[in-house]
Structure 1
Amino acid sequence: MDTKPGLAAGASSKNLLERLFKLEEHGTTIRTELLAGLTTFLTMAYIVFVNPSILADAGMPKGPVFVATCLIAALGSMVMALAANWPVALAPGMGLNAYFAYVVVQGMGYSWQAALGAVFVSGLCFLAVTLTGLRGIIVAGIPRSMRIALTVGIGLFLAIIALKNAGVVAASPATFVTLGDLRQPSTVLAVLGFLMVAVLSARKVRAALLATILTVTGLSFVFAGNAFQGVVSAPPSLAPTLLALDIPGALTGGLLNVILVLFLVELFDATGTLMAVASRAGLLPESGRSPRLDRALMADSAAIFAGSLLGTSSTTAYLESAAGVEEGGRTGLTAATVAVLFLGCLFFAPLAGSVPAYATAPALFYVACLMLRELTALDWEDLTEVIPACVTALVMPFTYSIANGVAFGFITYAALKGLTGRAREVKPVVWVIAAIFLIKFVESGGAH
C-alpha cells in the first residue's frame, strides 16, 4: 500500500512527458531521450568555459557571463523542447562570440553594452523575418557557395584566435605574424591539449572538448602558475550584465553594419544547423518545409535577444546536437535534459573562473579544423562561385573581421557574375547586400 503513491507519481510523470513530447509517436523512450540529452550536453558543455573566457576579452566580467551562458543555454534549449519538440540544444555560438569580442569591441572600439544592443536588434530582425516568411526568401537568395564560405571563414577566424591565445603565433612588425615562444609552459600545455582533443575525438569520446579543457586547466595549476579558485560555489550575481545592453548605441552608423553581419550569420547558422540535425533525426520532410522548423527558428531568435538581456553574445542551435540524435534522441525531451544539466552548471563558477585562455584554445582550434571541411562542398569548376567564397574565407582572418570577409565576398560575387555575363544568376538579395557593403566602404574607406 505504501508504494502506490510513488507508483502513481511515476506514472503521472511518464504520462506528462508523453503528452508533452509524444515519445511513442516518435518511436523513443524516456531512457533513450535522457541518454541522448546527456550525450549532447557533454559534447557542448565546453561553452560554459569558452564563452566567458572570450567575452572577458571584451571587458565583460567573467562571473556574470558564466551565469548568463548557463541560463540562456538552459532557457533556449527548454524553449526549443517545448515549442518545437526537437532534440536540438542552444547556447552562445562559437564564432559569433569571437566577432563580438575581437572585432566589434576590441577592433571597432564599441562598448560591450552597445555590442549587446546590436545582438538584441539582430535577434529582433531574425524573429521578424521568420514570422513574416522572409527567412525563406533570404536563405534561398544567398548562393550556396557563400553560405559555405561563411562557415569556413569563421573557422579560419577562430583558428587565428586560438593560435594567438595558445601563444603559438605572435605579432611581428616585419611579417605581421610569426611563431611564438614554444618553450612557454602555457604554449606547451595548449599544444598537448590539441593533440588530446584530436585523439579523443578520433576515438569517438563524446566529451573530448570538455575533458581536454579540464585536463589542461588542472595541469596549469602545476606547471603554469595558474591560481586555483575552487570548484563549487553559489552562482555569481548576474547584476553587472543583466539589462546592461545599449540599444541606442547599437543603432549608430557603424553598428548597423555589425547588425547586418550578425543577422546573416545567425540566419544561416541557425537554419543550416536545424535542418541538418532534423534531417539526421528524420524529422524534416523532403520538401524541407516544416511548421516545426519555423517554431524552432522562432525559439532560436527568441534566445538571441533573451541572451542579450542576460549579458551574452548571440545564441544559436548547436550542431553538437547531432551527437544526441545518434544516441536515439528524437524529441524535445533530449533538449529539455540538456537545459536541466546547464542549470546544474551554475554552481561551478569558480572552476570556470580558473580556466585560462590557453586551456580553451585547443577546443577552439579543433572546432576551427572541423569547419574547414566545408570547402570540399564547393564547385571548384565554377570560378565565379569559388573565387568569392575563397575571398570571404581568407579576408576574415587576415583582416581580423568576419564583417570584412562577408562584405568582400558579396561584392566580389556580384561583380564577377556581372562582369562575366551571368548577372541573371544573382538574386536580388545579393545585389542589395553587396550594395550596402560597397556604400559603407566608399563612405568609411574601410577603416573602423
Structure 2
Amino acid sequence: MLIIIHSETNQHTIARNLGRSEYSYYFVLKEYRPVLERLGRVVEVSDPQTEVDALYTDALSRGEACVFLSFSPPHRTPVNFTCPTLPVFAWEFSTIPNEPFAGDPLNDWRTVLRAAGAAITHSSYTVNAVREAMGADYPIIAVPAPVWDRFSERGAHLKRQPLASQVRLTLKGLLADSRELDLRAFGPVATREGVGIDFQAPPREHELVLDGVIYTSVFNPSDGRKNWEDMLSAFCVTFREVDDATLVLKLTHHNAEEALTDILHHLYKNQSYRCRVVLIYGYLADADYEQLVQATSYVVNTSYGEGQCLPLMEFMSCGKPAVAPRTTAMIDYLDAENAFLIDSTDELTAWPHDPRRAFRTLRYVTNWASLCRAYQSSYDVAKDDPERYAQMSAHAVASLRKFCSQATAEQRLETFFEHLFENRVVETPEA
C-alpha cells in the first residue's frame, strides 16, 4: 500500500509559518508518519497537484493500492485528483461549515467530505460534528497525533515531583520575567515610562531558574481560541499574595513583538501580585525543553476549544496533571483523576475562516471563578498532598496512552483502511 502525505507547512517553511493558519498540521503529519510507515510505503510530496496522481498511476501499474492523506482542513483539501484523497484535520466547534461563503463552494465542507468519501480527524467530538452534517454512517475515525510514546519515554527519565527546586534551563531568544521587568514600560501608551524590550536586538542566551509550583502553557498568542487573558488574570488574582507560584508561557509565533506585546500589557494591567509570570519566546533545545517539563507541576489550558491540543497531550504523557476544561477534544482524555477541571459555558461564535463572522456554531467559555478555584486546589495538592499528586501523574500517563499512543493509532488506522478498501472508498487494483 502506498500512502502519500502532504501538509502545506513543511520542514523548510515551519520557521516562518509558526503562528500562522494551519501551521500545526505539519506537527501532526510528523507524529503520524512512523505509524503510517508500519501500514504501508509512505511518500511525502511538496506539490500535490503535480505529484499525487502520477504516484497513484504508477502504484496502480504495479498492483499497489494507494491513498493520499491531505493534512489540512477540508476547504484546503484538493478534490480534483484521481487518487483517493482523505482530509486529516482538526476541528473544535460544535458544527462543521455547512454552507458556501466567500465565493468558494469548498467552504461548505460537506462538498469536500462527499467527494472524499471518508475522513480522519482527532477526537470523538469532531466525529460527532461531522456525522451530524453527513449522516450517522459517514466513514470518519478519530486518531489523535500519537505523541504518547515519545513523551512518555522522556517523562520516564524525569522526576515527577509536584514542586520544582532550582531547575535550570537555557533558551536562545527573549525571556520576559515579571520580577525583572519594569512593567510601567508596558502600560497605556500615553503614560509609559521605564525600560521596555528591544525587539530588534539579536537573540541571546538566557538562563531561567524555576522554583516552587510551576504552571506551564505552550500556545500561539495570536490564536484567538487560546483565551490566555483568563489564564493570566485568574493566575494573578489567585496567587496575588503567593511567592512560590509561577506561570510559564512558552509562546509559539514567528514574530517576537507580535507574540509578546499584548501579554506584556496584560501583565501591567493585572498588577500588583507576588506570584511570578515568565514569558519564553525562542528556541529550547530538547534537553532544556525536558527541563521545562520536569519543572512543571501542571500544564494549563483555558481555550475556547481544541482540535486535540498537542502541548497538553505531550505534558500529560510525561506525567503532568492538567488544569483545563473538559470540552471538545479534551473530553476524550481529561477527567477528575488527571486534571483539575474548569467549568465552562457555550456561546455562539463564527467559524474561524468565515469572513462574514456569521454566528453558526458554538465555542466554550471558561468560567473565571472556576478557573481560580482550580488554580487554588491544584496548588494545595502540590504543596500538601504528594500522594494525590503522584496518583494524578500516573493516571495522566495511563489516560494518554489509551488516547494517543502509536499502538492505538496503528490499530485504528489499520482497521479503518481495511474497511475503506473493502468498501471501495479507497480504490484497489483489479485482480
More helix by share: 1
TM-score for the superposition, normalised by structure 1: 0.24
More strand by share: 2
Bigger relative CO (Cα 8 Å, ≥ 6 apart): 1
TM-score for the superposition, normalised by structure 2: 0.25
